Amino acid sequence: MAASSKSLPSISIIIPTLNAAKVLRSCLFSIRSQKYPKNKITILVIDGGSSDDTKKIAIRYNAKILKNPLKTAESGKAIGIKMAKGELIALIDSDNILPCKNWLNQMILPFQKHTEIIGSEPMSYTYRPKAGFIERYSALTGVNDPYCLIAGNYDRTGYLHSSWTALNIPIKNFKNYQVATLLPNRLLPTIGANGTFFRNSFLKKYFNSNFFFDIDLLTEVLNKSQKSLKFAKVKNGIIHTFCESSISKFYRKQLRRATDLYFYRSIRQYLLTQNNFIPSIKFTLYTILIFPMFFDTINGYLKKPDLAWLFHPIACLITLYTYSLTTLKHHLGFLKPFNRSLWQQ
């Protein structure tokens, strides 16, 4: 056991927070419950100025707290990456829960088997029958944003699609994971959050910014090098307590997502942040024609009966409204940065 423990890589876990007391305790408890050498795990909580008990909870679980003056998750991740010393860096959100005690061991397996792999990620969101209906909806569809279903750039399995991606990506299947070959000048799946691991050496080599947009970094490296990258999708899940059952929280998150798109567009590299006209038209027609989104709702329910599917039309309508309103404000010059001062996770 001692020999195998010595061979395990050290892991720096990065968790950006802002008033995350309601969810952080469960997240940190699941990390500290892992069957992984405790001396090989470092937790960095990068806090944007929480006014609740976030920092007290972090201290209780022996996490190192770093300040994040820019408050956003992307700036928090950037700070954490620059300070991380582990061989692997794990990007865990405060509303994530690791679903089993061997989860870290599962996630590092591809790195041990393939030296060329630069990252790994869970293949699904863990479905919990007694969870909030929006959390269940996210696990059933494999997305947090229904726009991604129509754009086809989702990165998790769901009951509406047979694979974790709809994009044409070379994939090699292994017993416990798959290895995807990411190619230059192609649209990529939205990999990079909710349990994503990267080799620290890869990030230290290519990342140098005050904001970490994970999918943008991969896009930039691929297009500049014109060489492929190997990325693993592990055949497990991660619990994402996404909005639980709060429609108002879902609305705020979609509004924040849309607003940030325009304010950080000048530094983004990902294809859909620069040219999303066709996917936006497709999503608009999908929603306003009503039948397509209701067909998917019924189809999903037949495959996995759960009343959480009824949220799908609501999620599409909220998304269309927030994205359209934000776009209109942007073009009219009325759009203001998203106010995070009152943000509650």
Please report where in the chains the tokens 């190997």 appear, as a residue. Answer: 230
- pLDDT value at 194 more than 70: yes
Neighbouring CB atoms inside 10 A of 9's CB total: 15
Selected residue with higher pLDDT from 269 and 29: 29
Single-letter amino acid code for the residue at 289: L
- pLDDT value at 3 more than 80: no
Single-letter amino acid code for the residue at 277: F
pTM: 0.95
- Domains of the chain, with CATH numbers? 2-247 (3.90.550.10)
pLDDT, tens digit (0-9, with 9 covering 90-100), for 129-174: 999 999 999 999 999 999 999 999 999 999 999 899 999 999 999 9
Degrees, nearest 5: CA angle 38-40-41: 70
pLDDT of residue 149: 96
- pLDDT value at 342 more than 90: no
pLDDT, tens digit (0-9, with 9 covering 90-100), for 205-242: 999 999 999 999 999 999 999 999 999 999 999 999 99
Average pLDDT over residues 229-258: 96
Average pLDDT over residues 292-306: 98
Q: List the one residue out of 64, 14, 38, 6 whose CA is nearest residue 193.
A: 14
pLDDT of residue 308: 98
Phi, psi (rounded to 5 degrees) for 209: -155, 165
Considering the chain, what is the average pLDDT of its residues?
A: 95
pLDDT of residue 1: 39
The H or E element that residue 123 is part of is: strand 117-125
- Yes or no: say if 37 and 5 are a contact pair by the CB < 8 Å rule: yes
In Å, what is the CA distance from 210 to each residue of 48, 269, 284? Answer: 14, 15, 34
pLDDT interval class at 6 (50, 70, 90): confident
Please report where in the chains the tokens 């080599």 appear, as a residue. Answer: 205
- pLDDT value at 2 more than 90: no
Average pLDDT over residues 51-69: 97
pLDDT interval class at 4 (50, 70, 90): low
| Distance between CA atoms of residues 222 and 219, nearest Å | 5
